[in-house]
Structure 1
Amino acid sequence: MRVRTLLTCLVPLLLLACSSTPSVPGRTAQQPAVRPASSDRAHDVVIFALGLVDTGYRFGGKNPDAGLDCSGMVSYIFDRAAGIRVSGSAADIARRGREVDRSGLRPGDLVFFNTRNAPFSHVGIYIGDERFVHAPSGSGRVRIDQLGARYYAQRFEAARTYFD
């Protein structure tokens, strides 16, 4: 039994060693950039955002009692859930965040859209599984939508993070 346990532990290590790239003097191996898993603060942002689903929309709104617009929602959530000051329009928020490739989205990252024929005119909070929470003006409520939905897929511009 001990031999079997020992083999179970050693075989993966041997396979890992066999798959490594040999080192060449004077050269460093190129490792693909891998983003760490979402932080606790990012998860707090997602939970807080989900709690605001169905909150009323109001242009320029910055708190749930009066209503929220997209940038006001992001500012409110990031401040309350993560202690991160994020302010201004969706475009301002995009300028200050760190660029993230769409394939590397993590919960808590921000997704930006061109919804008014203007770059970065709408923002939402990515929650995972190709979904995001946002405050669209047309629906009158904070809601969850799919990044792949035709309307948003055609208007997706970029993703940004304020974490890691």
Structure 2
Amino acid sequence: MSAPSADPTNTTHIALTKAGKLKIRYPAELLSDDGTHLVVRAAWARDTVKDFGFVRFEPGDVFVEHYWRDRWYAVKEVRSPDNTLKGWYCDVARPAVVHADGTVEVEDLDLDLWRSADGTDVLRLDEDEFAESGLAARDPQAAAEASRTLDTLERAARTPEFTDLLAVH
């Protein structure tokens, strides 16, 4: 049996969960889904600015989001309304699950990585949240995989070939 694919009408929803609870759900346009790697485009899902200090996510920003059914991360290319690349926000997460209704569910594991558009800034994020999450006690194998994944993403983000991760096959 093949894995469910996102809605063929090109509209789907992304459901981000954290510790079993829905964090946010938002509509997205399905750009591609090869059964393993799916790509969507979505507007910044909030009506407020999120200022991280190193980047601001603002209303009008566009995210091209890459999810995999077999990888422990998601990568979001972030562009301003005028199409200027801001960078890539990488979520360490369990592999994506696409439900029968086309909803893409991704469980956030608290570790994140930011890579600036020019590649000069690569920042590991939320390691304190990860340590406090209790994942290591609840699911040591998932915690170990999350830590390995963050290390792998960081190494990749420090190379010019980083965007090769996002190639649609």
Asked if these proteins are the same fold (TM beyond 0.5), I'd say no
Greater per-residue strand proportion? 2
Q: Which has the larger radius of gyration?
A: 1
**What TM-score, normalized to structure 1?**
0.27
Q: Which has the higher contact order (CA 8 A, sep 6+)?
A: 1
**What TM-score, normalized to structure 2?**
0.26
Greater per-residue helix proportion? 1
